[in-house]
Amino acid sequence: MKFENGALAPAGSACLKKAMTLFFVSHPKCAKPLLGPFLTAADAECGRQVMRSDGATVTSSQAELDHFTKWHAENNGAVVRVFAEGVRNG
């Protein structure tokens, strides 16, 4: 670190980043994924079932995973699991 204008210069990012595969639910009529990110393909599959669309597919891509994205992916997975259980039971 070095001092510039009396301020301490940051040594790096405060966010932990890790390359990881994230899963999404896409549809051929849309350019961007409709649901996601998800940490697991199983959660993305639940999202596909919740959409109830024959054209929906699970896709994946490599991305850097920071704390914010990880939180969203975990939250998205929990939400679609709850909705998928409702679709199966009702």
Per-residue pLDDT at 88: 76
Q: How many domains does the chain have?
A: 1
Domain contains 65: yes
Could you tell me how many helices (H) and strands (E) the chain has, helices first?
Answer: 2, 5
User: Cα separation of 34 and 55, whole Å?
Assistant: 12
Domain contains 67: yes
Of 37, 18, 10, 13, nearest to 26 by C-alpha is 37
Per-residue pLDDT at 18: 72
pTM score, whole prediction: 0.76
Domain contains 8: no
Q: What is the DSSP letter of 55?
A: T
Q: Mind listing the pLDDT tens digit for each residue in 7-56?
A: 555 555 555 567 799 999 999 999 999 999 999 999 999 999 999 999 99
> Is residue 77 pLDDT above 80, yes or no?
yes
User: Cα separation of 67 and 90, whole Å?
Assistant: 35
Domain contains 27: yes
Domain contains 40: yes
**Residue 2: pLDDT band by 50, 70, 90 thresholds?**
very low
